[in-house]
Amino acid sequence: MEQKKILIITYYWPPAGGPGVQRWLKFAKYLPEFGWKPIIYTPENPSYPLLDDSLMKDVPKDLEIVRTKIWEPYQLAEKLNKSNKKFKAGQFDVGKNQSWKSKLSIWVRGNFFIPDARVFWVKPSTKFLEKYLKENKIETIVTSGPPHSMHLIGLNLKKTMSNLKWIADFRDPWTEISYYKHLKLTNRSDKKHRFLESEVFKNADITLATSYTDAENFRKNGANAFCITNGFDESDSNSQPLKFSNSQPKFTLSYIGVLEQLRNPENLWKALDNLVKTHSDFAENFSLKFVGRIDDKILETIENSSLKNHILNLGYVSHDKAVDEMSKSSLLLITNFPNDSSKGIIPGKIFEYLATGKQIISFGPEKADVSKILDETKAGKHFGYRDSQAIENFILEKFALWKNGNLSENTENIEQFSRKNLTKQLSEIL
C-alpha cells in the first residue's frame, strides 16, 4: 500500500538542540510505520540558540528534507545588546534585571516582528510551497510552532489551496504563554497577535496541543483541537526505563535543560539553603546539579547562598549526555511559569524524566497538567511557588530513603507516553 505524503513545516530541525526539535523529529521517525511518508521543510540557514549533533542519528536516512534560505534580524539585535541572544529561545531579563537596552529590545521584538522574528520567511515559503505541493501531489501539511510564524505559512497555503488538509501543532501556546504579557505590546500589536492566532484556529483542519488544558483552551477559542503530549523514545537505549540504582555518592537533585528567570523556583533554593544550614547530614551528602543553560542571574543568587559549595554546573551537553545525567540523579527538578494560564504547559523533559524511574519535584501553578501526570504515574510531587515547609519535608523524606537505599523506582503507566504510541495516536487523528 502506497504511503500518504505529509509535509512538516518546522523551524527547528537537527542540528538544532533543545526540546523544540524533538517532537517532529520523533514523529517523522515513526510515521512510516503507520502509512505516512514525512517530508521536512525547514530553513537552510537558521539561527539556532542551541546545537546538538547527537540528534542527527534520529533523522531517517531516506527522509526527504527541503530547505530554503531565511533572513532573520537576530544578528542586528545582538549588536544592540548581547543579552538578545536569549530571545532566540524565548528568554529575556525581567523585573529589576532589565536594562534600558533589554526593555527596548523586548518592545521592538513584540511590536515590530509579529508574531516573531522569523516572519520574513512566511511570504517566500508560501510562494515556494504552493508550487512544491502541487508538483509533488501533497495534500496534507503540518506547521509546528513556536515560532508561530510557521502557522502563517500554513494559513496562507490553506487560503490558496482549498483541498489542503492543515494540522497546526502548538508546542507552546501563542497569546496565552506566560511571557506574552512581558512583550510590552501596544494595543494595536496585541490585537494583531490575537487576530492572527484566531485565524489559525479557525482555518486549520486540526489543531494539536501538547497538554490537556491547552487543547481545551484552544477548543474554547474555535479550534478543532486534540492533545498529543510529548514523550520519550523507547528505541533509545538511554531513554528506556532504567534499572534503578542508589549508588550515587551524593544525594543529587538535578535540573536538566534551560532555566530562565520566569520559571525560577526561588522557594526551592531557600528550602535547600535552609536544609544545608540546619541538617549537617544532608549538607555532607547533597549535590545540586545543573545540566543545560541556566540564567546567569539565577546562578549568581544560588552561588551567594549556602548552596555555593554544593553546585555542579555542567553547562549545555548533548541530548544523549543529558539523559545519562538524569539517570545519575536521585531527584529530578522540573519548573513551569507560576501563573494559572500556564497550568497546561507540560515541559517535554518530564517524559524522559519518567523513563528513568527517578522521583520528580515539580514547580508551577496549582492543578497543573504536570501534577496530573505525576499523580497518575506516582513519580513525584508538584508544588506551587508559595510553598515552603512542605518542600523541605518532601526533600528530607526522599533523602532518608536514598540514605537507606530505599529510593524506589517508579514507572507506572508510562507506556502511553512512548514516542511510538504517540505517533500511532497522531496517525489515527490524521
Higher-confidence position of 360 and 182: 360
Q: How many CB atoms sit inside 10 A of residue 368's CB?
A: 24
pLDDT average, residue stretch 192-204 = 97
* Per-residue 3-state assignment (H helix, E strand, C coil) for 41-101: EEECCCCCCCECHHHHHHCCCCCEEEEECCCCCHHHHHHHCHHHHHHHHCCCCCHHHCCHH
Query: Residue 239: its pLDDT value, please?
Result: 43
Residue pLDDT, tens place only, 59-86: 999 999 999 999 988 655 454 555 545 4
- Mean of the per-residue pLDDT values of the chain: 88
| DSSP type of residue 418 | B
Residues paired with residue 311 on neighbouring β-strands, in sequence order: 288
Amino acid identity for residue 90 in this structure: G
Amino acid identity for residue 9 in this structure: I
Q: Estimate the crossing angle of helix 22-30 against helix 419-429, to 10 degrees.
A: 80
What DSSP line would sit under 292-320, residue for residue?
S-B-HHHHHHHHTSTTGGGEEEEES--HH
Is the Cβ–Cβ distance between 326 and 352 less than 8 Å?
yes
Residue pLDDT, tens place only, 237-250: 444 444 444 556 89
Residue pLDDT, tens place only, 411-422: 678 999 999 999
* Nearest-angstrom CA–CA distance, 237 and 210: 24
Query: Residue 151: its pLDDT value, please?
Result: 98
Share of the chain above pLDDT 70, in %: 87
181 confidence band (pLDDT: 50, 70, 90)? confident
Residue pLDDT, tens place only, 365-388: 999 999 999 999 999 999 999 998
Amino acid identity for residue 361 in this structure: I
Identify which of 339, 272, 300 has the alpha carbon closest to the alpha carbon of residue 97.
Answer: 300
221 confidence band (pLDDT: 50, 70, 90)? very high
* Nearest-angstrom CA–CA distance, 123 and 81: 28
For residue 15, cis peptide bond before it (omega within 30 degrees of 0): yes
Residue pLDDT, tens place only, 90-100: 545 555 555 65
Residue pLDDT, tens place only, 126-154: 999 999 999 999 999 999 999 999 999 99
Q: What is the dihedral of CA 81, 85, 90, 94, to 10 degrees?
A: -40
Query: Residue 189: its pLDDT value, please?
Result: 92
Q: Residue 87 pLDDT > 60, yes or no?
A: no
Residues ≥6 apart with Cβ < 8 Å to 393: none
Residues paired with residue 36 on neighbouring β-strands, in sequence order: 4
